[in-house]
Amino acid sequence: MNKHLIAPSILTANFLRLEEEIEMLNGSEADLLHLDIMDGVYVPNLTFGFPIIRQIKSLAKKPLDVHLMIVDPDRYLEEYRDAGADWLTVHYETCEHLHRTIQKIKELGMKAAVSLNPHTEVSLLEPVLGDLNMVLIMTVNPGFGGQKFIESSYDKIRKLRAMIDKAGHKTLIQVDGGVNENNMGSLIDAGVDVFVVGNTIFSAPDPVQMISKLKSPK
């Protein structure tokens, strides 16, 4: 049985055919639907807001994994829950009182995750690791899809895996950026549990077949 999870990134879907894309993912082996929320301030890109999340939620048969790349995420935690987020990821770099933010996410009934940018050390998460359902390691700089995987990410993932295992936590490790068939095996070996995949899935001739391949990499 495959332990790792696949979270297709909706950002690379065809938004003119969004209903069809969601239905396709519903019928696939995908485990989560990954939604990148960008505000044009924290990262140099704008994506979509609550109305689109609600529309996706109304169709999706998989949990929504919502990744906030926004300043001051605390303002909107309840609204993201109400829009349909099942998992909510905030960036370490944007949270002044990270422990409080994590507790609030969980109080609202969502699974809590924290994301680290490529330059941020995993050791900074040690005080809150036991409170987290997941840590998202950004393996590209956040803001745009289709970027090249940052090779030094492997060391960060191994370090984080060792921290989680040593403490006996059940925290999942997620990666986002430059994931494809060629590096998935190495990433699983390094300790990754959840893969955000965009272009590799949505640019494939048969996305459902691609997801199936990613669930069982060589």
Active site residues: 36, 176
- Residues forming a β-bridge with 137: 116, 175
Residue 193: what are its φ and ψ, rounded to 5°? Answer: -105, -35
- Report yes or no: 87 and 64 within 8 Å, Cβ to Cβ: yes
Distant-in-sequence, close-in-space partners of 25: CB < 8 Å, separation ≥ 6: 8, 33, 60, 62, 211
Give which of 120, 143, 122, 137 is closest to 174, Cα–Cα: 137
**Can you say how many angstroms the Cα of residue 190 is from the centroid of all Cα atoms in its chain?**
17
- Report yes or no: 34 and 1 within 8 Å, Cβ to Cβ: no
Would you tell me how many other CB atoms lie within 10 Å of the CB of residue 107? 12
For the purposes of burial, counting CB atoms within 10 Å of the CB of 76, is it exposed (0-12), middle (13-18) or buried (19 or more)? Answer: middle
